[in-house]
Amino acid sequence: MIPSDGSTASTAQNDAPVGAPSDGGEALVSVRDVTKRFGDGPDAVTALSDVSIDVPAGSFWSLIGPSGCGKSTLLRVMGDLIQPTDGSVTVGGRTAAEARRARDYGMVFQKPTLFNWRTVRRNVELPLEIVGMGKDERRKRAEVMLELVELGDFATKRPGQLSGGMQQRVAIARALSFEPSLLLMDEPFGALDEITRERMNDELLRIWQRLQTTVVFVTHSIPEAVFLSSHIIVMSPRPGRVLAEIDVDLPYPRSEDTRELPRYFELVTEVRETLREAQQL
Amino acid sequence: MTPSASAVTPAASSTGRRSAAQDVAGRTLPAVLTALLVLVLWEVVVRAVGIRPIFLPTPSSITATFFAEIPRLAEAIWTTGRAAILGFVIGGGAGFVTGALAARWRWMREGLLPMGVAFGAIPIVATAPIFNLWFSSLSVWSNAAVVALVVFFPMLVNTITGLSATDGGHEELMRSLAAPRNAVFTKLMVPTSLPFVFGALRVGAALAVIAAVVSDFFGGLRSSAGFFIKTLMATADYTGAWATVAALCLFGLALYGSVALAERTLTPWGDDG
């Protein structure tokens, strides 16, 4: 199931300015025949069945599907937060466990999971403290990251004093602070209103293009998946499996205008129809 | 960043500060007014009904005695209060350390928690004479030991509960960062436990004064508040005994207030809502 990224890559390279990420890289993440069952015997639930995907370095992939399709489970298997029953995950040639211990993963969860006893800046510093970076350096790095998510003025606030969207931006700054090679995002904007979500999508793309990191993004929002991704994995529920892969041949950088392109609407429709098929299976 | 998002938070936080100040005033004022009302009623009823001071002296006479006896009351509070504070610190510290060990290692928890429960079931009154024997009844340590024993149990239980109260999302985050166990303990578990620890300290502050006075009644130092009350009752100075109770009450409030102040200073995020 290696994606045929010919069209996407060429479109991106033709239309995007120099430095825009493309799908042309080698597979950073390889998921091979992953099956995940929860429980034993007759009560066992198969969350994932024989899933294989290859995410190229520098690309932005979304996992989309109805609830219960195992997209979050797949992300957690990739991040070594849960173990697959069968199959394997490699990240840059390492096993998922090795990659996690080597701190290859930046994770952003549906909830911001900030430490409310720390200031915003010290939340961003948390991973840097854990990797043992010196005080001055990590402070400087945290401030750069906060500027990147445009929260420089809020460094000394506590998370409880910030809105939900701002908290999630702090979580993104924290996940990126130690420059992980892979950013795993589990419905990070699911709890936000539509307007805030679109703004966060714009910001996320801007950051992704600046940092050129690889992103795997779980969502149940079709417009969000189409707007953000270079490639979309559509999953079907019970048991979760890959139903279709859709290349998103919209040029980067994307903006407000992208949401009004005919091609954008075509892709949204394509994903929607694929998902509808998934429901009927 | 849109103007709306950046404008919301500073406004919200300044509103928060203003309402916090109003909050304090709003909570203090009714309490003070209620206390004054009770004292006035007390005074009026005692005078009107003609209750004898042996049963209930008037607040005004207690206040007068209080101010007249300040040097002796101060000595009594110094003796008993010192035992209360020493025991509070030792019992609280021991409870936290034991709780931390129990939360860190499962086998320790299984060994220590039943022992902690057993400690909590010990009646203080029963331990006072024993500690007097162990530490000499003329030392502050016998009273402090009684206090420490009383403060230990709530601290142990709350520390274990607090250290285990970590949020699942936070645990997953630390796991994704491959955080070593010590980092999880100091950066996640300990801060999570602080509100629980302060809860135990507040309970402990109240218990400490009670335990210190109770142990005063079993021998103890001649300058202690408990001994002072016994002496005053024996010489029919009931107003003096009431003044000593009032002084102990003030001391207890001060100890509790210090803990509450430390809590607000050290865990300011509790107000974020």
Q: Is the pLDDT of residue A225 over 70?
A: yes
| pLDDT tens column, B226-258 | 888 989 888 888 899 999 999 999 999 999 999
Task: Pick the most confident of A249-253, B97-101, B194-198.
Answer: B194-198
pLDDT score of B24 more than 90: no
Helix axes A164-176, A194-211, angle to 10 degrees: 20
| B119 pLDDT more than 80 | no
Asked if B194 is an interface residue toward chain A (Cβ–Cβ < 8 A), one would say yes
A150 chain-B contacts, CB cut-off 8 A: 1
Which residues of A fall within a CB distance of 8 Å from B14? none
- CB of B144 closer than 8 Å to CB of B86: yes
pLDDT tens figures, B127-138: 888 887 888 777
Planar angle of CA A54, A168, A16, nearest 5 degrees = 50
Above pLDDT 70, what percent of chain B?
89
> How do beta strands A182-186 and A231-236 pair?
unpaired
Sheet holding A86-91, edge to edge: A45-56, A27-38, A86-91, A94-95
Residues in chain B with CB shorter than 8 Å from the CB of A158 are 268-269, 272
Handedness of CA B90, B91, B97, B98 (dihedral sign): positive
Q: For residue B58, what pLDDT is reported?
A: 92
- Partnered with residue A184 across adjacent β-strands are A107, A216
Q: CB A159 to CB B175 under 8 A? A: no
CB < 8 Å from B in window 158-187 of A = 158-163, 165-166, 184
CA–centroid distance for B42 within its chain:
28
The whole-number pLDDT of residue B272 equals 63
Rounded CA gap, B137 and B149, in Å? 17
* pLDDT at residue A5 in the model: 41
Which residues does chain A have within 8 Å of residue B11's beta carbon, measured at their own beta carbons?
A: none
pTM for this entry? 0.80
Contact A109 B172 (CB under 8 A): yes
Q: Are A120 and A155 in contact (CB under 8 A)?
A: yes
Q: How far apart are CA B9 and CA A163, in angstroms?
A: 7
Average of per-residue pLDDT across B159-182? 92
Nearest beta carbon to residue A163 from set B9, B170, B183: B9
Rounded Cα distance, A21 and A55, in Å: 13
pLDDT at A18 over 50: no
Long-range contacts, B112-119 (Cβ 8 Å, 24+): B112/B156, B113/B156, B113/B160, B116/B152, B116/B153, B116/B156, B116/B157, B117/B153, B119/B149, B119/B152, B119/B153, B119/B156
Cα separations in angstroms, B127 against A77, A118, B104, B265: 56, 43, 30, 35
Tokens 């409030």 label which residue?
Answer: B253
For residue B273, the distance in angstroms to the closest alpha carbon of chain A comes to 7
Mean pLDDT value of segment B186-214:
93
Residues 90-129 of A with CB under 8 A from B: 100-103, 105, 107, 109, 111, 113, 115-118, 126-127, 129
Is the ipTM above a cut-off of 0.95?
no
The answer to whether A107 contacts B173, with C-beta atoms less than 8 Å apart, is yes
Residue A187: per-residue pLDDT: 92
Which pLDDT score is estimated for B14?
42
Amino acid B81: pLDDT: 93
Q: Per the CB < 8 Å rule, is B169 touching A109?
A: yes
Question: A22-75: per-residue pLDDT in tens?
Answer: 444 578 899 999 999 888 888 888 888 899 999 998 899 999 988 878 899 999
Q: What is the pLDDT of residue A170?
A: 94
Which positions ≥6 away from A47 have C-beta within 8 Å? A36, A37, A38, A70, A73, A239, A240
In whole angstroms, what is the distance from residue B52 CA to residue B43 CA?
12
The minimal CB distance from A111 to the residues B13, B169, B179 is found for: B169
* Count of CB atoms situated within 10 Å of the CB of B49: 8
Indicate whether B7 pLDDT > 70: no
